[in-house]
Structure 1
């Protein structure tokens, strides 16, 4: 297949196909305006890939709301291999395609299943997966395909997308390699025109006409057709309206010039997304009493006019748009009515209902009810955007009133579940105002607050709290859930906004009626967590500790499918505030594993951050980096606000002493000091700044940064800065400040009574009082924990104290231990601080070679850790949402970098 003027462009798919034959993978998004040659380039790739297995799909404008329809078309050639998938993945894929009735699958588990299926196919022969007209692909399918594309590496799979530029579909594909097509250069454009002509045309005239097309290949070919047929000159293609509009006008003129029956056939074909000739014949029999032979003749005439090809398929999507858009609304409704009659209401119930809705010219409760049934089917398949679309259309067929608003709110909830907050906002804006139905009004407020959380906007907490207060009077359970959402939002949003605080949420929670638990003698995890947070914020730390322990205990005892998984973040925050490192680690590990089994990436995102924080606290910085990388990867996959997700590892940078990265992250997370304190990440950032300055021995700056947190005493993680403030103030000879911080630390640590809390308290007391027994007590308490950085800091502070008392031999022992620990974990600034102190005793620290493990990328490190722990390649693939072949690729690189030849040797290196 030869493409005029596209030599450079064809090199892109050629290169990817060559890589696939060598065992690697690649993706490119081919973008550009209509008619620019995207489909032609995709056709070139498929005809070139004769030695590859090919799966192809295309977005269809009329099918945008049918969830997973596009993915099903792509995977159809490979579905025979689905028996090789792990059980949860197979069930998720079959449920999404309507082959199995089960719980609605998370679309990211569907994505992992699709990736594994393609990788299984590629294990025998490389695979080319093509998605054309991605701008019309149903959202579920497009997000799954984008998810796969971002995880390809060494799978022998090539993915090619064709998408119109300046389209929202590009949002889902952001970050993937892009090839943007532009018009052909003058000589190549003229050559294409000449090749399309059956007769000679004056070259000067041809060049003038080609210039009007801006090098658009479709426009050039249409120009060639008009010149060949001797048609009158048309207005310049490049003049307003758009080139698309001019091409549609041309196609519509061609349609109008055909006989009535052929026009009717074309309109029915345009209204039907299946391109099924049998369906077309049945519909035409109802519409025009046309016989199959007459329909066949009309199809032939449409093909002769170069409008259809290969049966009932349009030669170009613009022709379909021109035919459908050029018909009157009454004609379109008539055509959809006959298509509904011709469609099986049982076997293809969703399309049947959709055609009935398109045929309706006013409110119709019977059709709206059918659409609601379609929404239920979509939800069961995990197609939440399709569910939202069916419910929206049902609402459009419902007169203004509570029922219409109820359907719109249900549609909005489905859109939020699908991770589409902008679409949810559109639905909320359609609500009929001032109906005076408190429950619906409160529910709308709740949804608007939740979408503001997703969009990173201020005001989310205010809306959720107001909704919770109204709902609590009508339905205590709904009120409690909304209060939990408000509390969650107060913790995670970067900026709560003026006039609102976490304390207001806490006071409302304490005053709210208690929801009746599912089990009479077992209060729900959500209720316990809410009570603990509310008491912590509004009453006091000591009073909250028993409730905090009770909530954490209930979360640890709950099943993975309980509400504990939904509110895991609230539990993880309590573990931090309680200084319970074991609860944080166990909870993060457990709920991350559950999230992987369920394919629930939002829960996995929280689990990854919890795991990263736990690893950081334990001094396993490389593992923390890998978990943070996973957190950011998931944030990108689910469309989270990457401004803040991308700097969530601020504490890691601070521990490593990286001033540039820490300050950059603090600027994003914490913002100007004048701004109202925000959520947990703000406190992490401000505490990270304190830690950074302490490591670099800038004690005055450390104290100033710590006093900002101390003064505001944020309800969550406010205690984390207290040991640092004590240290900084003592080093600045500001004992008054150190003692004030120590009083607050003492109150909370004694109430918590965990070894971590009591160890920090003993160390702080030792700094203020100079009591050596307290240093030894801190050592004893922290030795029972996995908190290597805190043990190292205790060695450092005790060693500094000993040196200042001229007990050099004893100081060396402590400082040497501190330096070894800090250097081993990669805490460069603290290691340097220990080295300087050690040098002051007359001893020079031994230079440590950086661990070869640090040369691994985050992905390689995660693979290495799991392999060292005994996980198989398939288990690692499921854990990291990649393919088994990519796991094998990373393991080969890990073995080479670490100079090992077996998993046993790998375990020894990783354990070292």
Structure 2
């Protein structure tokens, strides 16, 4: 496309050429941002008209800053979103509600500006999936503060770009004109000024670099961001909400690219505490899900289940969809094929309906864990292969690990070697024990003799350094299997016994059974665990019963757990039936010997806050810290 003449654009051929190049770039999947600055009357508005005239192949939307409208919240954003308002109801519920209130389409408290900005970005991203969107903003200096949130040269632009990347990640696409990589490229090219939050700026730098495959510089920025994210002062509720809305993209980067379980724990724990402190019911369930994921990898499945149950209860009480991902991961590690199959079926339908393509990609990893645990390696191979091929930001590395194990067991060594090369490339820039352990163990599966032996030992040491207990147990299992096949039964028994005891303690039934079979093959008799009693309390029932036994009323329990008093009473009736009692006065004695979901008797002598793994908060406790 050549810059053509225009009666009002004498001498502006260079600017027209810049606009022509801008309008061509999205077709190649490279969205761009351009800002024209200058004195009044220099023809900036005419340049925008030129761009609009050349954009017949695009959907054009406009916002006009007007000085008189600066006191009207969201007036300019309403102009900008006008062509897409029919799609507002398709947004994720928190974004939908915020935007509807902002635009006067529904009543409610004033919405958080960051959530409104994220909703606008999601709306524009979805609109551009079928046809490129050109956004034209004139007289940006007169935009109201909320609209400046989305302006490319605003201090809030880094936060907006992170929101766009976050939306694209959870929509599940990395490549393409509306993918996370395109959003990252636009962020890096924008020259946006600092946001005022060094943590947010470093996070944007790190995530954008990772998405453009500059792993070393990206991880350096992420490591610098971690301390700030963990300790940043958040003096207002708005600042806390902004932090809570940023933290998912930070966690996805730390989990899947830094392979840093300790960072995952630090950020998820703070997210749960902050969401509780300010009563952010929309942000608490995902924070609990991330925290539950930490406990899965620590091997504490009971605590993970408690957090997942609480997240689901809050989501149900507030009308949000359940967070099925964590339930799927937990079911996979437990080896519960029936439960996993049931959840996968429902999750797949829900993910398709909500456009959560990232969840569809995660299922391949989840089923890889499940089927490897069950020693159904052909199915694990197919599932992990599907996850690797999925165009997503997350789970590729973890899926490669599952694929390598399944491929070696199926004799597909070329496939395993290819995945190993990709895994080592993905993890080369990180120094985490988790990543080093994954690389060493995957190499061991393809090595022989002394090299394999040394690599398994390195993997055990590195996974231990990373704190990834489930992978320590799994490495003992694989090492023991390798030792038995290499006719070293005494050494094999040592590692297989350790693997069995660890998995049995976690209630990872499939992996424990795999270890038991291997131990039996070495000639050792293994006593299997008795089945969990039918009357065992679920994690949430246990939590509610414990608080009731400590003297809390139903209303207080409900406030503590963000559920209604009626829901508390419903759970207590189930508890009474399981424990064979008929009042809360009998709870302390009944709980002392009652089995939990893991089949173990409950310890006595601990306070309710001890048992909840978090401090109890009174009405006078201050907010964000």
Bin of the TM-score, shorter chain as denominator length: 0.5 to 0.7
Partners of 1:808 and 1:712 lie apart in 2 by 41
Partner of 2:165: 487
Alignment of 1:530 onto 2:204? yes
Alignment of 1:897 onto 2:594? yes
Partner of 2:377: 699
Give the direction of change, closer, same or farther, for the CA distance of 1:539–1:749 in structure 2 (3 Å limit). Answer: closer
Give the direction of change, closer, same or farther, for the CA distance of 1:904–1:751 in structure 2 (3 Å limit). Answer: same
> Which one of 68, 71, 96 corresponds to residue 421 of structure 1?
96
CA-CA distance at 1:654 after TM superposition: 1.0
Partner of 2:15: none
Give the direction of change, closer, same or farther, for the CA distance of 1:534–1:638 in structure 2 (3 Å limit). Answer: farther
8 Å contact from structure 1 (residues 621, 652) kept in 2: yes
> Which one of 480, 483, 487 corresponds to residue 806 of structure 1?
487
Which protein has the larger Cα radius of gyration, Structure 1 or Structure 2?
1
Secondary structure, counterpart of 1:752 in structure 2: coil
For residues 674-694 of structure 1, the C-alpha deviation after alignment (integer angstroms, 9 at most, x for no partner) is 999955433322100111110
Partners of 1:858 and 1:849 lie apart in 2 by 19
Alignment of 1:547 onto 2:249? no
Give the direction of change, closer, same or farther, for the CA distance of 1:841–1:417 in structure 2 (3 Å limit). Answer: closer
Superposed, 1:164-183 pairs within 5 Å as none
CA-CA distance at 1:721 after TM superposition: 1.2
> Which one of 263, 272, 278 corresponds to residue 583 of structure 1?
263
Give the direction of change, closer, same or farther, for the CA distance of 1:797–1:908 in structure 2 (3 Å limit). Answer: farther
Partner of 1:574: 253
CA-CA distance at 1:582 after TM superposition: 0.8
8 Å contact from structure 2 (residues 174, 393) kept in 1: no
CA-CA distance at 1:615 after TM superposition: 1.0
8 Å contact from structure 1 (residues 461, 496) kept in 2: no
Secondary structure, counterpart of 1:554 in structure 2: helix
Partners of 1:566 and 1:908 lie apart in 2 by 29
CA-CA distance at 1:803 after TM superposition: 0.6
Length, aligned pairs only: 493
Secondary structure, counterpart of 2:428 in structure 1: helix
> Which one of 787, 795, 801 corresponds to residue 468 of structure 2?
787
Compute the TM-score of the two structures, normalised by the length of structure 1: 0.47
Secondary structure, counterpart of 1:835 in structure 2: helix
CA-CA distance at 1:586 after TM superposition: 1.5
Superposed, 1:806-825 pairs within 5 Å as 806-825=487-506
Give the direction of change, closer, same or farther, for the CA distance of 1:463–1:605 in structure 2 (3 Å limit). Answer: farther
Secondary structure, counterpart of 1:903 in structure 2: coil
Give the direction of change, closer, same or farther, for the CA distance of 1:543–1:785 in structure 2 (3 Å limit). Answer: closer
Give the direction of change, closer, same or farther, for the CA distance of 1:718–1:495 in structure 2 (3 Å limit). Answer: closer
Higher normalized contact order (CA 8 Å, seq sep 6+, divided by chain length): 2
Partners of 1:423 and 1:716 lie apart in 2 by 27
Partners of 1:676 and 1:625 lie apart in 2 by 25
8 Å contact from structure 1 (residues 763, 774) kept in 2: yes
Partners of 1:449 and 1:877 lie apart in 2 by 35
CA-CA distance at 1:462 after TM superposition: 8.5
Partners of 2:532 and 2:136 lie apart in 1 by 52
Alignment of 1:743 onto 2:424? no
Partner of 1:241: none
CA-CA distance at 1:704 after TM superposition: 1.9
Superposed, 1:255-654 pairs within 5 Å as 419=94, 421=96, 424=99, 447-450=119-122, 459=127, 475-493=153-171, 500-518=178-196, 523-560=197-234, 561=236, 562=239, 563-577=242-256, 578-642=258-322, 645-646=323-324, 648-654=326-332
8 Å contact from structure 2 (residues 324, 347) kept in 1: no
Give the direction of change, closer, same or farther, for the CA distance of 1:759–1:863 in structure 2 (3 Å limit). Answer: farther
8 Å contact from structure 1 (residues 803, 811) kept in 2: yes
CA-CA distance at 1:906 after TM superposition: 9.3
For residues 725-763 of structure 1, the C-alpha deviation after alignment (integer angstroms, 9 at most, x for no partner) is 111111122222212211222223331111111111111
CA-CA distance at 1:901 after TM superposition: 8.4
Secondary structure, counterpart of 2:462 in structure 1: helix
For residues 840-886 of structure 1, the C-alpha deviation after alignment (integer angstroms, 9 at most, x for no partner) is 11222211235679922231344589999x99999976542358995
For residues 318-376 of structure 1, the C-alpha deviation after alignment (integer angstroms, 9 at most, x for no partner) is xxxxxxxxxxxxxxxxxxxxxxxxxxxxxxxxxxxxxxxxxxxxxxxxxx99xx99x9x
Give the direction of change, closer, same or farther, for the CA distance of 1:444–1:595 in structure 2 (3 Å limit). Answer: closer
Secondary structure, counterpart of 2:394 in structure 1: coil
> Which one of 400, 403, 419 corresponds to residue 725 of structure 1?
403
8 Å contact from structure 1 (residues 484, 530) kept in 2: yes
What 5-or-longer segments of structure 1 have no aligned partner?
1-367, 376-390, 396-401, 431-442
Partner of 1:356: none
Partners of 1:639 and 1:854 lie apart in 2 by 30
Superposed, 1:101-250 pairs within 5 Å as none
CA-CA distance at 1:447 after TM superposition: 4.4
Partner of 1:826: 507
8 Å contact from structure 1 (residues 755, 781) kept in 2: yes
Give the direction of change, closer, same or farther, for the CA distance of 1:708–1:541 in structure 2 (3 Å limit). Answer: farther
Partner of 2:478: 797
Partners of 2:230 and 2:607 lie apart in 1 by 35
Secondary structure, counterpart of 1:483 in structure 2: helix
Partner of 2:447: 769
CA-CA distance at 1:836 after TM superposition: 1.4
Partners of 1:424 and 1:674 lie apart in 2 by 23
Partners of 1:621 and 1:497 lie apart in 2 by 35
Partners of 2:359 and 2:92 lie apart in 1 by 24
CA-CA distance at 1:569 after TM superposition: 0.8
For residues 555-590 of structure 1, the C-alpha deviation after alignment (integer angstroms, 9 at most, x for no partner) is 112124544333111111122121111111121111
8 Å contact from structure 1 (residues 703, 725) kept in 2: yes
Partners of 1:704 and 1:727 lie apart in 2 by 12
Partners of 2:465 and 2:535 lie apart in 1 by 27
CA-CA distance at 1:634 after TM superposition: 2.6
Give the direction of change, closer, same or farther, for the CA distance of 1:445–1:768 in structure 2 (3 Å limit). Answer: same
8 Å contact from structure 1 (residues 657, 830) kept in 2: yes
Partner of 2:42: none
For residues 20-79 of structure 1, the C-alpha deviation after alignment (integer angstroms, 9 at most, x for no partner) is xxxxxxxxxxxxxxxxxxxxxxxxxxxxxxxxxxxxxxxxxxxxxxxxxxxxxxxxxxxx
Give the direction of change, closer, same or farther, for the CA distance of 1:724–1:875 in structure 2 (3 Å limit). Answer: farther
Secondary structure, counterpart of 1:690 in structure 2: helix
Partner of 1:848: 529
Partner of 1:23: none
Compute the TM-score of the two structures, normalised by the length of structure 2: 0.67
Secondary structure, counterpart of 1:719 in structure 2: helix
8 Å contact from structure 1 (residues 424, 451) kept in 2: no
Secondary structure, counterpart of 1:582 in structure 2: helix
Superposed, 1:664-703 pairs within 5 Å as 664-669=342-347, 679-703=357-381
Secondary structure, counterpart of 2:155 in structure 1: helix
8 Å contact from structure 1 (residues 449, 460) kept in 2: no
8 Å contact from structure 1 (residues 509, 534) kept in 2: yes
Partner of 2:459: 778
Secondary structure, counterpart of 2:193 in structure 1: coil
Partners of 1:678 and 1:882 lie apart in 2 by 26
Secondary structure, counterpart of 1:601 in structure 2: coil
8 Å contact from structure 2 (residues 500, 512) kept in 1: yes
For residues 681-713 of structure 1, the C-alpha deviation after alignment (integer angstroms, 9 at most, x for no partner) is 333221001111101112122122212222346
